[in-house]
Chains A and B, each alone.
Chain A
């Protein structure tokens, strides 16, 4: 069965600083990987996804993530954080099911942005 580990429960950065959120996965086949963001009281919004091809994936809001098979990682990065980026971030690995993919989520990392 697939699993996702997000080792950092909370991350605090200053506005304008760079950001890296860690994600490690366990999956027996080629993984399908996702990053979602959840603002308070909101549903999850897809930031980016990796299915195949280029291991550096560009997403919305200036985020990118790099798939490293040798490290079983899919870390999320942003070069300059804005106060509006404060939210909960979830990494997920997708397993094929019924013609689609079911994501299994990590526990999430809470991003706090200081002015």
Chain B
């Protein structure tokens, strides 16, 4: 099966600019996650979708970050305006909705804010 697709792979922007990342999960996976991985740290969950509804966005900095999954398939994560501390790899993952299933991660988007 095809994996989780993410684009772009790399992005460099200046602070205060906006940026958007795209994720296409594995076909049929109801659950989609966005993680932020800062260099030297483990991934931190930003938001979890179940189909097109938000299950958990408690760690999403809502003053600047937004995410949507309008048709319950692909998803977009946006940052506006970006700060230097947003430099990180943004990982998307998906999983089928059943107990015992694992997660499949995409290769991520590496964001550098200068």
Contacts and interface: CB of A to CB of B under 8 A. Distances in A.
Interface of A: 4, 34, 36, 41-46, 49, 51, 90, 92, 97-108
Interface of B: 4, 31, 33, 40-45, 48, 50, 55-56, 91, 93, 95, 97-108
Contact of B102 (A4, A46, A99): A46
Contacts, number: 65
Contact of B105 (A44, A49, A106): A44
A98 B103 contact: no
A34 B31 CA distance: 18
B29 to A, nearest CB: 10
B31 A51 contact: no
Nearest to A88: B42
A60 to B, nearest CB: 11
A42 B107 contact: yes
B102 to A, nearest CB: 5
Given A46-B103, A99-B97, A100-B101, A106 B108 contact: no
A26 to B, nearest CB: 15
A90 B48 CA distance: 20
Given A100-B31, A102-B48, A107 B105 contact: no
